[in-house]
Structure 1
Amino acid sequence: MLYAGYQGLDDFIAPFRMAALHGLTFMPRLAGPFAQLSRHNAAALEMVSRFRLSHERPAFGITTVRDGNRDVPVREEVALDLPFGQLLHFRKEIDTPRPKVLVTAPLSGHFATLLAGTVKVLLRDHDVYITDWKNARDVPKAAGAFGVEDYVAYVIRFLEEIGPGAHILGVCQPCVQALAAVAVMSEDRNPATPLSMTLMAGPVDVRESPTTVNALADEKPLDWFERNVIATVPLRYAGAGRRVYPGFVQLTAFMSMNMERHRAQHKRLYDHLAAGETEEARKVKEFYDEYFAVLDLTEEFYIETIERIFKKAELATGAFTYRGRKVNPGAIRHTALLTVEGGRDDICGLGQTSAAHDLCSSLRPHLKRHHLQANVGHYGVFNGRRWENEIYPVVRNMILAME
């Protein structure tokens, strides 16, 4: 009923959005004393037309990047296509090889394009790949299940596709799966085991400095989540019948944490549109075009994430298993470790990511480094000015040191 209710509401509002778009197309642009009225009317119509969520991945929009002292073209290529995600390669038109980096994107209600800024900065000095996850409602039920261990399996398969000598950078939620994958590969002496592993703002051990997000996951039993936030994909989609945690539910949860800020931003957008300030309006619209693009998670991935990562902290307690075998981060001996945390992160508390250093007990001290960026929140760890100017140089130097 949850998904059907959302879909019914969206279908009801759709004609009003369409009417607003037509109104924008045919509305006369008035001059003189009526110009201000015209802009206000156009702003109102545009706000109505934008009252929707997207369930398709936006474009990364990376067509060129600065490499050394010149701009070089970039094209996206699918290096490997699997049922629940693809390995996306940002190929630069250059002759000189660059260190290969796999970015593991969060599977938490948004598409991998949320990391477009992360990728664009990394591309300056690296050959970049990313885990490009598919919307679970578009994956046929016949494709089977996709849980936490399947994410680990995909990371291993992607690293094998990239080949020996790569590096891995985990962002947020999948830091656990990235660490588990490297531990399994290290124990198996897999030739594609990465040279370095960077973990950024991830819940390796949620028992350290618990946040509101951790408390919400911990205070309710698993069956509450199964009853209240899991829904069945409607018949109109390829994944009909699949049980999912809908992206629109996750977005609602995110927005409720900072509702006043989002209201203020939309008021700002209306004011920019009404004043004809197109560049300022464009920046706000671009952010929300990405933020309102949501994807559904499989039921098993969502429930297992809550149980195994947020409730039981299995990796930190030594209870995490992969395909029936215990995962031992102590098996990591040659993959350098860098952890990055934000001092104002209200999603992943201080110490939750750096806990990886204790788990990787066999790594020699010169292969470990921790960076605390005191003046950023969660998103600022991997996007924005601080990431570009202060955090990225640390990441680049770690990768370079292991080349």
Structure 2
Amino acid sequence: MLLAYGLFEGARMMMAPARLAADLTRHSMTSPANPLAYSPYARSIAAGCEMFERVTRRYGKPAFGFSETVVGGSRVPVTERIVWERPFCRLIAFDRAFRQPPAEPQPKLLIVAPMSGHYATLLRGTVEAMLPDHQVFITDWIDARMVPLLEGAFDLDTYIDYLRDIFAELGPDLHVMAVCQPAVPVMAAVALMEADDQPHIPTSMTLMGGPIDTRRSPTAVNCLAQERGQDWFERNTISLVPGIYPGAFRRVYPGFLQLSGFMAMNLDRHVTAHTDMFEHLVKGDGDSAEKHREFYDEYLAVMDLTAEYYLQTVQTVFVNHSLPKGEMTWRGVPVDPAAIRRCAILAVEGENDDISGVGQTKAALDLTPNLSPARKAYHLQEKVGHYGVFNGSRYRAIIAPRIASFIREMSAEAGRRTPYLRSVG
């Protein structure tokens, strides 16, 4: 399995001439100079060529692409700024250029993106919904194949190190949103800081579809990890980064393997989507085709994870259930969720979530007996799956406003005011 990555890259390179030929054919069949360009025959050939090119392409990291947001009915320019950086992560701030500052200071919100195969840009919709009323930051995890071996290893302990450093960097009155996978390390980082009575503990954390306790409503993903165990994943999923990348010979869990797993879970849906895409192209339905492109340009863009992080996460979160059982440690130090006394918790789940079953995230509320009930909240969103917990129409209309309300309530309850546009970094 260690050589699988090299075989994948070799196959991709061998397909390059065919991809180029398909792309040239598509352009020739859609060129205004071609008298057949608007015929069903030409559209069918062009559609087939585009589908072939797209399914054999390696998708690069997308951009967030925010240029503006709407605050108080006015359009405000948005720019990105890196405020903190380590070998495996950059922290991006989305700065809004107000002509006049809002009447009330806006809370600082750190969105911790999942390190589970996709780039942080998968949360574009998550960020967009929070931008009008929050000073938003997001963790932009780096593709492991792009990090040289000299930069060292990155495991779950290092992940928690990064979070603690970021919490300290962003200062007091910070609110944290953990989407899916980071729910466990975020909760662990907060618990460790609370146990040490450290300053700059976040005012609140919102845990969204996170695997806090995967013994509750186990899904197919949870059962697979439990049945196979860490050794099986190490033998069958870990490979070496090929020598053509900066992270050459680093042991990783390749993004293309993670993507194949995602696709297999809902294969019928993806096949139908691509069939519909072909028909849209043939019919000349540009709007529908563009929506397909936008979604899959993001969905098919994947990154590699370091082997040590991936395997440690599988063992700690999905096999041993270490956090809910009180057995999790960070660099030999016990992680005790009961130490959380100040940081408020909102648990958000989706009724139809097939990744993190109902009750897995809510477990965080049961693991914190010393946190006041007034600082705990739970939201179960009907008619949404895993993706709908942090994106889509119900997220924008119901979940995001619920989170914003919780953040305001907790800031007020703590008797704090977030400084407006505090300089960071």
Structures share a fold, TM > 0.5? Answer: yes
- The answer to whether structure 1 residue 370 and structure 2 residue 378 are counterparts is yes
Counterpart AA for 1:13: M
Bigger shift: 146-155 or 54-63? 54-63
Would the alpha carbon gap of residues 144 and 26 (structure 1) be closer, same or farther in structure 2, given more than 3 Å must change?
same
Aligned pair 1:124/2:155, yes or no? Answer: no
Please, which moves more after superposition, 18-27 or 279-288? 18-27
Cα offsets for 1:238-275 (capped at 9, x unmatched):
00010000000000011011111101100111111111
Do the aligned partners of 1:88 and 1:131 also contact (CA within 8 Å) in 2? yes
- Partner Cα distance (2:125, 2:265) in 1: 23
1:22 maps to a residue whose letter is L
Look up the match of 1:141.
149
Q: Which amino acid aligns with 1:199?
A: L
1:338-366 Cα offsets, whole Å, 9 max, x none, are 00111111111111000001111111111
Structure 2 letter corresponding to 1:284: H
Shift of 1:3: 0.4
Verify the 8 A CA contact 1:53 1:294 in the aligned structure 2.
no
- Alpha-carbon RMSD: 1.4
Q: Which residues of structure 2 form unaligned runs of 5+?
A: 412-425
Cα deviation per residue 1:160-196 (whole Å; 9 max; x = unaligned)? Answer: 1211111000000110011011111222222221111
1:25 maps to which residue?
27
Mapping for residues 67-216 of structure 1, pairs under 5 Å: 67-94=71-98, 95-96=101-102, 97-216=105-224
State the shift of 1:34 in Å: 5.9
**Structure 1 runs not aligned, ≥5 long:** none
* Contact 1:86 1:133 (C-alpha < 8 Å) held by counterparts: yes
The one of 342, 350, 375 equivalent to 1:334 is 342
Question: C-alpha distance in 2, partners of 1:126/1:307?
Answer: 36
Q: What's the secondary structure of 1:334's corresponding residue?
A: coil
- 1:68 shift after superposition: 1.5
Is the 8 Å Cα contact of residues 27 and 46 (structure 2) preserved in structure 1? no
Alignment match, 1:9: 11
Structure 2 distance, partners of 1:268, 1:384, is: 20
Query: Shift of residue 56 of structure 1?
Result: 3.2
CA distance in 2, matches of 1:53, 1:315: 39
Give me the whole-angstrom Cα distance separating, in 2, the residues matched to 1:140 and 1:33. 48
Partner of 1:37: 41
Partner residue of 1:247 out of 255, 260, 282: 255
Distance 2:307 2:37 in 1: 56
1:16 partner SS: helix
After TM superposition, give the deviation of residue 9 of structure 1 in Å: 1.1
Give the distance between the partners of 1:190 and 1:47, measured in 2 at CA.
54
Number of paired residues? Answer: 403
Q: 1:31: how far off?
A: 4.9
* CA 1:304–1:55: 2 relative to 1, 3 Å: farther
8 Å Cα contact 2:119/2:301 also seen in 1: yes
Question: Counterpart of 1:74 in structure 2: which amino acid?
Answer: V
State which of 40, 44, 62 in structure 2 corresponds to 1:58.
62
Deviation, 1:32, is: 7.5
Counterpart secondary structure, 1:221: helix
* Amino acid in structure 1 at the alignment position of 2:73: N
Query: How far apart in 2 are the matches of 1:65 and 1:134?
Result: 26
- Contact 2:78-2:95 at 8 Å conserved across structures: yes
2:323 is the counterpart of 1:315:
yes
Residue pair 1:16, 1:48 contacting (<8 A) in 2 also: no
CA contact (8 A) 1:53 1:293 kept: no
TM-score normalised by L of structure 1: 0.97
Once structures 1 and 2 are overlaid, which stretch shifts more, 22-31 or 373-382? 22-31
The separation in 1 between residues aligned to 2:36 and 2:48, in whole angstroms, is: 20
When structure 1 is superposed on structure 2, of 31-40 and 366-375 the one drifting more is 31-40
Q: 1-side partners of 2:47 and 2:60: how far apart?
A: 25
Q: Note if contact 1:81-1:87 (Cα within 8 Å) is conserved in structure 2.
A: yes
SS for the counterpart of 1:102 is: strand
Match 1:256 to one of 255, 264, 285:
264
Distance 2:211 2:72 in 1: 35
- Asked if residue 49 in structure 1 is aligned to residue 53 in structure 2, the reply is yes
Q: For 2:252, what is the secondary structure of its paired residue? A: strand
What pairs with 1:272-283 in structure 2 (closer than 5 Å)? Answer: 272-283=280-291
* Structure 1 residue aligned with 2:414: none
> Could you tell me the TM-score, scaled by structure 2's length?
0.92
